[in-house]
Structure 1
Amino acid sequence: MVNFTGSAEINRDTPIPLYYQVAQILRKEIETGKYQPGDYIPTELELQRRFNVSRATIRQAIADMVYAGLLERRRSKGTTVSTRQFESTLHGLNSFTGEIMSSNLTLRTKILEFKQIAAPEAAQTGLELSPGEMVAMMERIRYVDGQPMVLEKWYAPMKYFAGLQRGMFQETGLEQSTYYVMVKQFGMTITRAEDIIIPVAIEPREAKLLNVASGTPVLLRTRISFNAEGRPVNLAIGQYLVRLRFILEGNRTYSSGH
């Protein structure tokens, strides 16, 4: 698993890309003071050896951190920790529910499964959990204008959401939003979220649930949301039909939540 306290260990058996895992480890080392503003980080070759990944993976991780304002490239000298503010708090982080509803589209959610389980590896990795820690797991389908568009698995650590129950989530309205439940029921403040979106071919089970042919291209979206203390408090892994992107773009809305 990824240990975001500074270990170079990464999880190769998770849908979370290696470059993202590398970037998260480096981010945590910056946040905890291992690297100070203005410090040079290790070279690409040193990072490649440390994480046992390709140079392309390291370059992607660094490029993402540069884009996020965490790192700065210095010509012929290397890469340093940015002296600018690392990250601005996101105000009014919108949910997928709110954005669909504001687009004059109808949204309905069908929960297929809700249970408490020991965190699987993907949840341990994304939520910085130890083996055996309990999470609430929810699998659900999101219907836009009556058509199945998203199949999502959602994980939340029970240590932050004691008493979380299936009945807290409704089929329609704002109460189907996981953000709404976290804020309304638990007083949780979500300050930022990080997305990874990659194209994949849908597997037979998921294809049947979304009423498409096996192998249909979908967007696999992995989202980790963080509270005001910077701790990851929920992980959502969703398969989005590509046509949903065009629905959102056609209404000039862009999803930043779930």
Structure 2
Amino acid sequence: MLNVDRNSPLPLHYQLKQYLLEQIESGVWQPNDLIPSEQELQTLFGVSRITVRQALRDLVYEGLLIRERGRGTFVAPPKMTHSPADHRSLTEFMLDKAIKPGWQVLNQEFVEASREVASALALPHRARVYRIHRLRLANDEPIGQHTAYLPEEVAFLIDQSALREGGSLNYINHLPQMASSRATRVIEAVAASDLDTRWLHLSLGSPILQITRTIWSMQGEAIEFLQARYRGDRFKYQIGE
């Protein structure tokens, strides 16, 4: 049994967390390694399940561990860091890092625009828009889900093969008359929803990086409204140089 100092002013869960952190930082545990189970850590340190869970939860929220339902807890791989100042798309960035990019189209259909979508695209409430729901993959693992909304007239021009081969800009820039001119982004930290747990293999409430983006054409027309949600333990978004 490994010892924790019960006379220390440092809480037991913090001492356990520091031990786990040392295993990661020293390379004893490598990225994607399965770490000991909660029961094994309880036995190893002689502490309660509550103490173990708090230490693990802290490291999960710091992006150092990943908990997968039914599989266990793993050392997180290094986060991908992407910047809007980088002129490469995220797909190009992944290729440069020897990461295999990919997409999985989950659903695409015409729907009525919600107030948020209609406002972003400068359309009437409940106007007909095309919704595309896709998973973004890295080395065949889902790291994010994208839900894009396009005005009806833009949707009819889409090359369906482009949806499977690249990001939003890939299929928009296939249209000469719809070449993007500018975009706005809103970035915020949110908690994983039921849909995130289903598609991104996360626990409910896990950290999510949400990016909301609107793209305008050269003619000043809004041509896409995108809501992208990325695993907070796999992705960072860098602002500035």
What TM-score, normalized by structure 1, do the two folds share? 0.54
- Structure 1 residues 95-104 or 154-163, which shifts more? 95-104
Query: Highest CA radius of gyration, 1 or 2?
Result: 2
Look up the match of 1:5.
none
Match of 1:129 among 123, 138, 141: 123
Q: Which amino acid aligns with 1:197?
A: I
Superposed counterparts of 1:21-170, under 5 Å: 94-164=88-158, 167-170=160-163
Higher relative contact order (CA 8 A, sep 6+): 2
CA distance in 2 between counterparts of 1:150 and 1:158 reads 25
Q: For the residues of structure 1 that align with 2:155 and 2:86, how far apart are their CA atoms? A: 22
What secondary structure is seen at the aligned counterpart in 2 of 1:184?
Answer: coil
Q: Contact 2:118 / 2:126 at 8 angstroms: preserved in 1?
A: no
Q: Aligned residue for 1:184?
A: 174
How far apart in 2 are the matches of 1:139 and 1:221? 15
User: Which piece of structure 1 moves more, 134-143 or 156-165?
Assistant: 156-165
Q: Runs of 4 or more off by more than 6 Å in structure 1?
A: none
SS at match of 1:169: helix
Asked if structure 1 preserves the Cα contact closer than 8 Å seen for 2:158 and 2:172, the reply is: no
Rounded to whole Å, the distance in 1 between the matches of 2:212 and 2:107 is 19
State the identity as a percent: 17
CA contact (8 A) 1:207 1:213 kept: yes
**Segment drifting more, 183-192 vs 92-101:** 92-101
CA positional deviation for 1:122:
2.0
> How many residues in Structure 1 have an aligned counterpart in Structure 2?
157
Q: Would you say 1:197 and 2:187 are equivalent positions? A: yes
| Root-mean-square deviation (Å) | 2.7
Residue of structure 2 in register with 1:227 after alignment = 217
Which structure 2 residue ranges, 5 or more long, are not aligned?
1-83
**Would you say the 8 A contact 2:157–2:175 is kept in 1?**
no
TM-score, length-scaled by structure 2: 0.58
